[in-house]
Chain A
Amino acid sequence: MSDWLETMGVSILKNQENSQQILEKFVETARPSSVFAPPLTAGDYTIITASEVYAGMGVGFGGGGGSGPAASEEPIGDQLSAEQPPADEELSPGSGVGYGGGGGGVTLGRPVAAITIGPDGVDVEPIVDVTKIAIAFFTTVGAMAIMFSRMAKMSQK
Chain B
Amino acid sequence: MPQLSDFIRLENTATEPIVIGDTRITPQAQAFSVRFPFGGLVWNRPTAVLVERDDLTQRLPIVDVTRVAQIVLFGIVLTFSVIITLLAMRQRRTHHE
Q: Nearest A residue to B39 by beta-carbon distance?
A: A58
- Indicate if the CB atoms of A56 and B35 lie closer than 8 Å: no
Q: How far is the CA of A127 from the CA of B43 in the complex (A)?
A: 18
- Distance to closest chain A CB from B89 (angstroms): 10
Main DSSP-derived SS at the A contact region: mixed
Main DSSP-derived SS at the B contact region: strand
- Indicate if the CB atoms of B29 and A36 lie closer than 8 Å: yes
- Indicate if the CB atoms of A56 and B66 lie closer than 8 Å: no
Q: How far is the CA of A155 from the CA of B18 in the complex (A)?
A: 63
Query: Which residues of chain B are within 8 angstroms of A154 by Cβ–Cβ distance?
Result: 88, 91
Q: How far is the CA of A31 from the CA of B42 in the complex (A)?
A: 10
25 sampled A-B residue pairs with Cβ under 8 A: A23-B39, A29-B42, A34-B44, A35-B45, A35-B46, A39-B18, A46-B20, A50-B27, A55-B44, A57-B39, A59-B39, A112-B46, A115-B60, A117-B23, A121-B23, A122-B23, A122-B25, A124-B49, A133-B66, A136-B69, A140-B77, A144-B80, A148-B84, A150-B84, A151-B88
Known: A32-B29, A54-B44, A57-B39. 5 other contacts (CB 8 A): A32-B31, A56-B42, A124-B62, A137-B73, A140-B77
Interface residues of B (CB under 8 A from A): 11, 13-15, 18, 20, 23, 25, 27-29, 31, 33, 35-36, 38-46, 49, 51, 53, 58, 60-67, 69-70, 73-74, 76-77, 80-81, 84, 87-88, 91
Interface residues of A (CB under 8 A from B): 19, 23, 26-27, 29-36, 39, 46, 48, 50-61, 110, 112-113, 115, 117, 121-122, 124, 126-129, 132-133, 136-137, 139-140, 143-144, 147-148, 150-151, 154-155
